[in-house]
Amino acid sequence: MAEFQEYSKVMRLSRVELEQMHELAYLTRDAYENKRSQSFLQGKLVPLLKAIGSGSAIATILKLPVPAPAKLVLAILSLSGSFITGTDYYLNMLKQGERDLLKAKTWAQQHKGSYKYFQIEVGFMEYMTTTAEGRVPIVYVQLADSIRRAQKHDGTWVNV
């Protein structure tokens, strides 16, 4: 079985959910690029995972261990040791996913008075890593399309 798989999903997200996805992408990229400590990541991820909640679409799609954030912290920390040393391929994917989500988040913030949900296609990489907690999947955004459709406050969907 492969250690990773790539796939995409069309997601319907609120502005807040887009902001949460971007924050998670930012923390993952920052941890990988700057070799953040476990305590630093724990301090950032625990409040974010509580805000996301275990029943949310984001938690389900990203396979977030909301009740056990230590698993996610260890999985993120293991990325730097698992990926090929000396290559920027994975870091570039993390940066691209973060940039794409930032564009979508910014657009959603600018149009929050007109729309309540946004439809976006997101490309993911799911990587299986081994930590002290055992084998843990980490799913991160490697790219995202621009927002194509949005739901107005009256419930109608429009192409944007």
Domain extents for the chain?
4-159
72 near 49, Cβ under 8 Å? yes
**First-to-final CA distance of the chain:** 40
Confidence label for 85 from pLDDT (cuts 50, 70 and 90): low
**Per residue in 107-135, pLDDT tens?**
999 999 999 999 999 999 888 777 777 77
CA 6 to chain centre: 14
Cβ partners under 8 Å of residue 126, min gap 6 = 4, 5, 6, 7, 63, 137, 138, 139
**Per residue in 3-53, pLDDT tens?**
778 899 999 999 999 999 999 999 888 888 888 888 888 888 888 888 888
Which structure tokens are listed for 5?
A: 């798989």
Query: At 69, phi and psi to the nearest 5?
Result: -65, -20
Report how far apart, in Å, the C-alpha atoms of 128 and of each of 45, 90, 124 are: 19, 14, 13
Burial of 91 (0-12, 13-18, 19+ CB in 10 A): middle
